[in-house]
Structure 1
Amino acid sequence: MSFRHSRFGGTFAVKNFKLISENDLIYHKSKCEMEDIYLHANKRPKKKAKNRKPLIDREVKRRSTLSIRLGLKELCIQFLENCYNHLMYAVKVLVFITQEFLSDFGERACMAFF
């Protein structure tokens, strides 16, 4: 190491340590030994993305599948009895009323045309 004077003090030019630009390394701390120079001191560690972090193990409390299946079966039965059957009945009535109206309308239209 050779000393390079600076107003701020502690600036060294490290010999036989070439950079990409083929210039000597300039080191701004007062170190005496070449082995004591640590070039990665001011580097921040690479951040790990949150979606790449390992998952935290948590205890999973699982419910019995039988109780879930029975609850879903009861829900489906109630839906069929209370909603679906009434809806299909109303649709069926509307379809038959519409068919009767259209057939009467078609007959009247043909009579008027001929």
Structure 2
Amino acid sequence: MAFIANMLMAVYQTNISDLFEVVDYLLMLKAPSFKSVYKWRLEQEHKLRERIHAESNKTENSHVMTDTEVWDFIQYFQRITEECLSEMPARANFLYELDDSRKIKFRLSNL
């Protein structure tokens, strides 16, 4: 796992700096925490399960993730998400901080 993480880090560091050279404006919707990201992703999966169930009256073979599968899935993105939550607000031209219910609680423009 460490080998893969190191390989990805090298790719990200090279390509991310190139990306910022072509971006005119950077807007960030900042989640309160990684825990909030998990909660929101879980809500999406639950809504998908409900929709599939309502449309087909069955949940088997629906390929909807369980709560544990959602947690396992987002763990792959935890480090980069937490890094972005801490580092990106200083780079963003427009920052919108969201509360746990996804409402904008703070706006900032760095233009």
Is TM > 0.5 for Structure 1 vs Structure 2? no
Q: Whose Rg is larger?
A: 1
Q: TM-score, normalised by structure 2?
A: 0.22
Answer 1 or 2: which has greater helix percent: 2
Q: TM-score, normalised by structure 1?
A: 0.22
